[in-house]
């Protein structure tokens, strides 16, 4: 997780440094679709026993309906720790957006996720938050943290860093 924190700090520092030189963008037309890919640093933390963590790939896509609201879907896979392997996660979320500036946004996600570890499949309410920064008119970099599952005997969380392309 320390690597993720350092990577996120470097990403945000570069984003803020380049914002001084960013060109003016046109006002976007809504709805606006997007797709992205992230490195997903996940952790399965059981109430009893040792936790498992690894790195996988997460694809995401969605639509932004106005400056403040959108919908997003996640599809993730990959990574294993010991006998625990993430076969897949799939989820759909409502996305609340807080535009800090024209190029920088904070957001929150809430929805439902299904996760399959080996032969154990669970689903439940999910939530998280993140930030993204435009590095070009149609390209953004971002980072987020999600609590995908919060069950009585374990939690499944992931922090992700990646890119998004807006159509």
Contacts of 18 (CB under 8 A, 6+ apart): 135
- Note the pTM of the prediction, 2 decimals: 0.81
pLDDT digits (tens, 9 = 90+) for 14-66: 444 444 444 455 666 889 999 999 999 999 998 888 888 999 999 999 999 99
Cα angle, residue 124 at apex, residues 98 and 89 outer, rounded to 5°: 80
pLDDT digits (tens, 9 = 90+) for 86-142: 999 999 999 999 999 999 999 999 999 999 988 789 999 999 999 999 999 999 999
**Residue 4 pLDDT > 80, yes or no?**
no
Q: How far apart are CA 30 and CA 112, in angstroms?
A: 25
- Name the residue with tokens 């008119």: 137
Q: Could you tell me which residue, 75 or 27, shows the higher pLDDT?
A: 75
- Name the residue with tokens 């606006």: 32
- The one-character DSSP state at 51 is -
- Structurally, the chain folds into a number of domains equal to 1
Please give the residue range of the domain that contains residue 101. 2-22+30-48+55-166
CATH number at residue 140: 2.40.160.20
- Beta bridge partners, 130, equal 107, 144
Assign residue 82 a region (left: φ > 0; alpha: ψ between -120 and 50; beta: otherwise).
Answer: left
Quick check: helix, strand or coil at residue 113?
A: strand
**Residue 82 pLDDT > 70, yes or no?**
yes
Residue 39 near residue 162, CB atoms below 8 Å: yes
């Amino acid at each position: 997780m320390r690597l993720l924190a350092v990577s996120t700090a470097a990403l945000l520092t570069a984003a803020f440094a380049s914002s001084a030189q960013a060109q003016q963008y046109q006002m976007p037309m809504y709805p606006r679709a997007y797709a992205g890919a992230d490195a997903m640093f996940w952790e399965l933390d059981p109430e009893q026993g040792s936790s498992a963590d690894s790195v996988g790939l997460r694809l995401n896509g969605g639509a932004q309906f106005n400056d403040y609201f959108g919908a997003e879907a996640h599809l993730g896979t990959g990574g294993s720790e010991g006998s625990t392997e993430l076969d897949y996660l799939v989820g759909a979320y409502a996305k609340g957006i807080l535009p800090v500036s024209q190029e920088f946004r904070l957001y929150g996600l809430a929805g439902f996720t299904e996760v399959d570890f080996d032969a154990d499949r669970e689903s439940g309410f999910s939530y998280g938050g993140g930030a993204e920064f435009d590095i070009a008119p149609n390209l953004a970099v971002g980072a987020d943290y999600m609590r995908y599952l919060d069950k009585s005997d374990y939690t499944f969380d992931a922090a992700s860093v990646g890119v998004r392309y807006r159509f």
